[in-house]
Structures are given as structure tokens and as C-alpha cells.
């Protein structure tokens, strides 16, 4: 019986593969037939037909599968010198209503960046029923929020989409440097952190929101870093809090209230394996993180309130507190080195550590490495 079932499954698999192969061959034949006409003799509408051929292509995430023959044919067409490389507003708008997801995605990409074309894409994107296609539109339009209000509205609207992946991509766009200052962005971040049904989206919003540097967010970070009851959300919000005042690697934020709150949270007692999170403890390790030292110097000019000695004192208190995770303590050592800790300061931290304890050995090894540099 088992052998018979195995045989049936095998036959079904072969049949499915054969069907896929037949579809690929059919699609290839159609495209090859169209490509047989030399580009110089191709009738008007060749670019349109190449885009329509993408109906045979599948999606991987929000992108057209790279190995699709029709996509390769389109790229070849676009690489030919001369000829149109862009769809007109009328044609692009029509192709945006095509039933094939890949056609809609590529049509949007080939439309212009002018206001009329972008507005047409947004109008279609707001009605898009396939989440992956909406994601593709989000990525395409992500940097146009500051320039075009309809795009900003579309991104904010997408942050409430039923599909978590769409909401997540909208967060990336809303918090990008290009869109800093977008009206409604900070309020949307707060709403997502407070109410999104997916914990991973809530965490992403808290981690990414700090890049906005918006003062409105400080109260939210104060609330969600007051306790580590939800360790993952707490860690994400601590990362966002750091980004509010020290956004590595661009160093383009400088919120003193966020800086003060961060030090307060690091000093908060009692500490634990989750508090403070190891992910923020190497924040000031500039050299191993390949920081742009010119940008760092410019940041220091904008942040006269930053006190390296004060930060070192707080971080050192984390290193000597064995209630914290060894990962947090070793990461903290990296920050101390980045802040210019002396060998005497590093040596003093060895006190109380036991080489016989596995966790202590890791911290001691990190200290020895720092002292040896």
C-alpha cells in the first residue's frame, strides 16, 4: 500500500513538473516568435507586447522571478539603443489594470516619475487586491512622499493594510530618511506600536520609528521601555530610542530627551538577562561598526549635551552587574573602547569576575581582547 501511494505521489509530481515545463516552453515560444523580428523593423507597440508577455511570469515575494524568459526578453528590448524605454501615461495607466500581477508591477516601473504618472500609479495602488503587487508599488513610490502628497497618503493607508508584509514595507518607507518630516508619520508609528495585531510589526515600528527623530515619539519610548515584561518589544523600542539621538551609521538625529531617557533606562535597577538588551549595548563602538568618523564629528557638533564620561560611567555599571546577560556586558565593553576607555578603566572591570564561571569567562575574554588592542 505504501509503495502504491509513493508511486501515485511520484506520478503526480512528474505530472506537475511536466505541466510547468509545458507552460514555460509555450511562453518561450511566444516570446521567441516576437523577438524574431529585428528591433529596427519591429512594429509600433513592441514595448507594450514585451510587458504583456510578463503575464507568464510568477512572483517571488513582490518581485518578478528573475529567471522568467519574458522578463529577460523585456530587458533585452530595453537594452537596445534607441526606441522608447518608458510607457506613456495613457498606455501605462491601461496596463496597470491588466489581470496579471507581473504586468501591473512592470508597467508601474516603466511609467514616468512625473506627477501625472505617479498619481496614476497611486490611484491604482490604492485599489490593488494582490498584497505582493501593493508591496511592489510601495517600494517603487517609497521616496516620493515628501514630493507628492498622494504618495504619502498611500503609504500611511498601507500601514493599516490587512496583510502584515504590506504594513511592514510601508513602515520602511515611512521611516526612510527621504520621507523625514512627512505629516502624520510619527502619529502612525505610535498607532502601530499601540494597536497593530501582529507583534512583529509592532516591534518593527518601535525599532524603525526612532529614525524619524520626531519629539512626539519620546513619550512612546518612555512608556515601552519602562519595563521588559515583553522582552522583544522592549528591545526593539530601546533600539528605536537609540536611533532618536544616535542613528548609526548616518548620525542624522540628535534628540537630547531621547539621550537622557536612554541613560536612565541603562541605569534602571534591577537589571536582568533581558534588561538592558544586548542589541543596544555596542551603540558607541564606532570602529568595529565602521562608522563614518566625519559624520560622527558633525553629529557631536549638533549634540553638545553628549557627555562621553557620563555614558562610560553608566555602561561600566552594566558591565559589573552580573544580573545582565553576558552578551550585553561584552557588547558594553565594545562601547567603552569606542568612547576611549583607558586600560586602567578596563582593568578595573575585571574585579569580581571568576574565570571558572562560563559567562564570566566570556566577559573576561572580551576585556583581555580590549586590553590587548
Q: Give which of 323, 319, 322, 342 is closest to 331, Cα–Cα.
A: 319
* pLDDT value of position 290: 67
Q: Is 54 exposed, middle or buried, given 0-12, 13-18 or 19+ CB atoms closer than 10 A?
A: buried
Q: Please report where in the chains the cell 516591534 appears, as a residue.
A: 203
Give the global pTM. 0.83
Three-state SS string over 206-240 comes to HHHHHHHCCHHHHHHHHHHCCCCCCHHHHHHHHHH
Point out the residues of the chain with pLDDT beneath 50.
1-23, 25-27, 29-44
Q: What is the DSSP letter of 59?
A: E
Give the Cα separation of 62 and 56 in Å (integer): 16
Q: What is the DSSP letter of 83?
A: S
What DSSP letter does each residue of 309-345 carry, written as one string?
HHHHHHHHHHHT-TTS-HHHHHHHHHHHHHTT--HHH
* pLDDT value of position 45: 67
Q: What is the dihedral of CA 244, 245, 247, 252, to 10 degrees?
A: 100
The gap from C-alpha 179 to its chain's centroid, in whole angstroms, comes to: 14
Could you tell me if 212 and 185 are in contact, meaning their C-beta atoms sit under 8 angstroms apart? yes
Domain ranges of the chain: 49-76+87-183, 223-373
Mean pLDDT (the chain, rounded): 89
Q: Is 327 exposed, middle or buried, given 0-12, 13-18 or 19+ CB atoms closer than 10 A?
A: middle
Residues 6+ apart with CB under 8 A from 121: 96, 108, 111, 137, 140, 141
Residues 6+ apart with CB under 8 A from 25: none
* pLDDT value of position 35: 43
Give the Cα separation of 299 and 256 in Å (integer): 12
User: pLDDT tens digits, residue range 181-216?
Assistant: 899 999 999 999 999 999 999 999 999 999 999 999
Amino acid at each position: 500500500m505504501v509503495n502504491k501511494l509513493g508511486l501515485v505521489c511520484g506520478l503526480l509530481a512528474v505530472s506537475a513538473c511536466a505541466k510547468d515545463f509545458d507552460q514555460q516552453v509555450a511562453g518561450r515560444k511566444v516570446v521567441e516568435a516576437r523577438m524574431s523580428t529585428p528591433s529596427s523593423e519591429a512594429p509600433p507597440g513592441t514595448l507594450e507586447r514585451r510587458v504583456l508577455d510578463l503575464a507568464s511570469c510568477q512572483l517571488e515575494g513582490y518581485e518578478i522571478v528573475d529567471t522568467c524568459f519574458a522578463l529577460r526578453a523585456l530587458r533585452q528590448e530595453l537594452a537596445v539603443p534607441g526606441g522608447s524605454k518608458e510607457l506613456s501615461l495613457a498606455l501605462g495607466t491601461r496596463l496597470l489594470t491588466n489581470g496579471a500581477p507581473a504586468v501591473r508591477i512592470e508597467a508601474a516601473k516603466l511609467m514616468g516619475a512625473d506627477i501625472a504618472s505617479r498619481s496614476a500609479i497611486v490611484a491604482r495602488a490604492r485599489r490593488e487586491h494582490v498584497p505582493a503587487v501593493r508591496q511592489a508599488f510601495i517600494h517603487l513610490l517609497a521616496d516620493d512622499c515628501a514630493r507628492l502628497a498622494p504618495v504619502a497618503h498611500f503609504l500611511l493607508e498601507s500601514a493599516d493594510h490587512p496583510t502584515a508584509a504590506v504594513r511592514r514595507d510601508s513602515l520602511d518607507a515611512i521611516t526612510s530618511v527621504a520621507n523625514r518630516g512627512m505629516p502624520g508619520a510619527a502619529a502612525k508609528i505610535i498607532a502601530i506600536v499601540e494597536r497593530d495585531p501582529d507583534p512583529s510589526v509592532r516591534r518593527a515600528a518601535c525599532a524603525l520609528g526612532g529614525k524619524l527623530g520626531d519629539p512626539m515619539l519620546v513619550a512612546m519610548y518612555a512608556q515601552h521601555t519602562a519595563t521588559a515584561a515583553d522582552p522583544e518589544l522592549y528591545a526593539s523600542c530601546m533600539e528605536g530610542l537609540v536611533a532618536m539621538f544616535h542613528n548609526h551609521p548616518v548620525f542624522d538625529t540628535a534628540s537630547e530627551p531621547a539621550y537622557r531617557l536612554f541613560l536612565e533606562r541603562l541605569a534602571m535597577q534591577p537589571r536582568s538577562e533581558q534588561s538592558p538588551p544586548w542589541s543596544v549595548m555596542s551603540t558607541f563602538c564606532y570602529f568595529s561598526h565602521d562608522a563614518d568618523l566625519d559624520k560622527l564629528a558633525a553629529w557631536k557638533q549638533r549634540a553638545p549635551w553628549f557627555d562621553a564620561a557620563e555614558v562610560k560611567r553608566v555602561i561600566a555599571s552594566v558591565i559589573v552587574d552580573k544580573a545582565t546577560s553576558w552578551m550585553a556586558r561584552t557588547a558594553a565593553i565594545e562601547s567603552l573602547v569606542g568612547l576611549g576607555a583607558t586600560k586602567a578603566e578596563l582593568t578595573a572591570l575585571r574585579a569580581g569576575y571568576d574565570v571558572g564561571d562560563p559567562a564570566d569567562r566570556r566577559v573576561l575574554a572580551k576585556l583581555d581582547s580590549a586590553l590587548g588592542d
